[in-house]
Structures are given as C-alpha cells and as structure tokens.
Amino acid sequence: MWSFIHKLGSPKWFYRISAKLQPWFWVAAAGLIVVGTVWGLLFAPADYQQGNSFRIIYVHVPAAFLAQSIFVSMAVAGLVFMVWKIKVADMAAAVMAPLGAAMTFVSLFSGAVWGVPTWGTWWMWDARLTSMLILLFLYLGVIALRGAFTSRDSASRAASVLAMVGVINIPIIKYSVDWWYTLHQPATFTITSRPAMPMDMWLPLLIMVLGFYSFFIALTLMRTRNEILRRESNKRWVRELVEGAK
C-alpha cells in the first residue's frame, strides 16, 4: 500500500501508467455521453408536467454532480500533497480547479435556462442554484489564490489549504442555504427533486453521469500529464522521452 502510494507519487511512474489508462477513459466518456445524449434527447419520454424542457436534466445534473465531486477531489489531492508531499497530487489539483469551475458554470447556465419554462424567470434564488453560485465563487477563489503567488510551492500549499477549508465549509453552506430557502420560499417547485422517476427517464441520466465522470478522469489524467511535462522539463527522463519521440 505505502509503496504503491509512493510509486504513484513519482511523476515518471504516473506519466507511464496514465498513458495506459487514459485511452480507456476517453473511450468510455465518448461512448457514454453519445449514448446518453441520443437516449436522453430522442428516446426518453417527455415529462408529464414539464414536457420536453425536462431534457435539460441530462446535462444539468451530471454537471452539478461533477462540480461538487471535483471540489472534494481537489481538497483530497491537496491533503495528499500537504501530508505526503506528493507533487503529482498537487498537479492534479491544479488542473482540476478550472474544470470544476467550468462544470459549475454549466450547471448554473443550464439551471437558469431551465428556469425560464419552469418558473418563468431566468434567475430564481433557488437553494440549489444559490449553493452552485457560491461554489463557483469558491472555485474562483482557489484559482485566483494559486495564480497570485510567484513561488510555485507556496501557491500549491496555499491552494491546498484553501481547498480544504472550502470543503469543510461546503456542507455547512449547503445546509444553511437549504434552510434559508425553505424559510423564505416555502413549498416552491424545485426543478430536479421529483418522486420516483420512471426507469426510461432515469437510465439515460445514469449513463450521462457516468460519462461525465469518465470525462473528468480522462481530462484530469491528460492535463496532469501536461503539467508533469511543464514542471519536470529539466528532469532527465523527460528529455529522454522527448528525444525518443523525435
């Protein structure tokens, strides 16, 4: 176990193993997202209440899931970096932040667009949308903090601390916003929580969620590899790799 962690911590080893893993995740991501898209847009039945506008769920929910999971992954990577000084963990955390912010934006955008046919307005201070907006600010804070330091090591450690502080706060923020919302807007129709979705609505959603997660893993592997090339450009193995690829 320990030797595995330390092996994983070596950029050279990670670069090699990720090259083998990466294609599988890309294939899974592309396949699942294509199947989910066709199924969700063409074959899933229309919702009895919202009609066809409910098809936004197939991008809104996976993006929202990913937005939250990426923040947690980023904090875990930060913890691993702070405790074991594993550089690859920090590289992964660094490339996860923009992806997470992008996914948060997607879920906010699709939620706002969904609001027009459902609520008749572009923006409603709905509990989920509000927590998502706060999550976007948390992502922007982490990205901005990492960019503000000139020394890479300080930037990495500061971003790790902030991600960990953020991840402790996310459940508190989420519960307090939920509580605030129920206090001010009792019994309003929330767009995504519904009782017992039928199977042929629910399955494409599961496929899309899995596809989005595969995409997240594939893109993180790819960009972590880029980050390794950038930060380890002076190492001998990177040079040999480049000369070999010539």
As given in the structure block, the two tokens for residue 98 are 């923009």
3-state secondary structure of 51: strand
Considering the complex, what minimum distance in angstroms separates the CB of residue 35 from another protein? 14
31 binds another protein (CB under 8 A): no
Site map (CB under 8 A) of another protein, residues 151-190, x = contact? x-xx--xx--xx-xxx-xx--xx-xxx-xx--x-------
243 binds another protein (CB under 8 A): yes
Q: Which one of residues 5, 17, 27, 140 is an interface residue with another protein (CB under 8 A)?
A: 140
Residue 14 or 114: which CB sits closer to another protein?
114
Considering the complex, what minimum distance in angstroms separates the CB of residue 168 from another protein? 7
Considering the complex, what minimum distance in angstroms separates the CB of residue 4 from another protein? 27
223 binds another protein (CB under 8 A): yes
CB 222 within 8 Å of CB 22? yes
- Which alpha helices (DSSP H) does 39-86 contain, by range? 57-84
Site map (CB under 8 A) of another protein, residues 195-214, x = contact? --------------------
d(CA 169, CA 141): 14
Phi and psi dihedrals of 177, rounded to 5? -70, -40
Q: Which one of residues 79, 119, 123, 141 is an interface residue with another protein (CB under 8 A)?
A: 141
CB 206 within 8 Å of CB 32? no
DSSP type of residue 49: T
d(CA 56, CA 212): 15
